[in-house]
């Protein structure tokens, strides 16, 4: 079955270039976005945590988003980091992303607050109901302090068709197996850790939301393609090369 939304196999969580005065270098950001889409990335994530979202103002995030959208010019998808530990803020940023006509948003499990599974459902339900934009959930227990369980992801994916994917940043392979068993077949799962991409591919994930793709995008794309076309040894060889760099 086709995915309900396919953002590609290699998505780059883009850094935000800064100048010597600690201001965003928008020209360098534009250059970087163009470089990434010419070197393996099928989508760029703007204002994720790799892109300094905790320290950017919302105004800076939106200006950066506009810059990257112009740079990409429909050659790749643009995803916007619209998450927050405040449900009200997450909803507000999702609505703003909708107005900016982004391709999708990434919405992280609320950090610091450590919500219950029911609290996560209420949080992401509010986000999903704020817009019909495709939403990629983001589970990163080491940073948020709490783990979103596979059954919570499955519930949200079943209830909301615009919750289309999950970025899973956790070394728990059993969780990937549970996610594949419990979630709809058209729901995409992405590795959120570069080094776990190949192991997770073996369990059925679609691709990676990557940081290493800033430098090794072509190699990551090749590894994923080789694995999916049955060239498993070639994929393993590339994994070993990338792992040791």
Please pick, among 69, 77, 167, 221, the residue that the annotation labels catalytic. 167
Give catalytic status of residue 138 as yes or no: yes
- Pair of tokens at residue 237: 């060889």
d(CA 37, CA 148) in angstroms, rounded, equals: 31
Whole-Å CA distances, 199 to 139, 156, 208 = 18, 25, 11
Whether 240 is catalytic: no
Catalytic: which of 5, 26, 77, 138? 138
Residue in 92, 95, 16 with CA at minimum distance from that of residue 61: 16
What amino acid positions are annotated as catalytic residues?
Answer: 138, 167
């Amino acid at each position: 079955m086709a995915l309900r939304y396919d953002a590609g196999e290699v998505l780059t969580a883009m850094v935000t270039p800064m100048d010597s005065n600690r201001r965003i270098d928008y020209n360098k950001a534009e250059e970087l976005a163009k470089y990434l889409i010419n070197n393996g990335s099928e989508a760029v994530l703007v204002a994720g945590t790799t892109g300094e979202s905790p320290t950017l103002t919302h105004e800076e995030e939106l200006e950066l988003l506009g810059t990257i959208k112009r740079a990409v010019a429909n050659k790749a998808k643009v995803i916007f980091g619209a998450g927050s530990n405040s449900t009200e803020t997450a909803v507000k940023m999702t609505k703003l992303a909708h107005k900016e006509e982004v391709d999708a948003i990434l919405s992280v499990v609320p950090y610091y607050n450590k919500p219950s599974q029911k609290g996560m459902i209420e949080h992401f339900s509010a986000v999903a109901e704020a817009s019909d934009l495709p939403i990629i959930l983001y589970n990163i227990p080491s940073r948020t302090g709490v783990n979103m369980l596979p059954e919570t992801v499955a519930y949200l994916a079943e209830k909301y068709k615009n919750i289309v994917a999950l970025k899973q940043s956790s070394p728990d392979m059993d969780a990937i197996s549970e996610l594949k068993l419990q979630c709809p077949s058209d729901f995409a799962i992405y590795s959120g850790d570069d080094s776990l991409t190949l192991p997770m591919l073996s369990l059925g994930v679609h691709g990676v939301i990557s940081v290493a793709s800033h430098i090794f995008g072509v190699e990551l794309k090749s590894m994923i393609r080789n694995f999916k076309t049955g060239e498993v040894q070639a994929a393993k060889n590339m994994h070993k090369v990338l792992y040791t760099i």
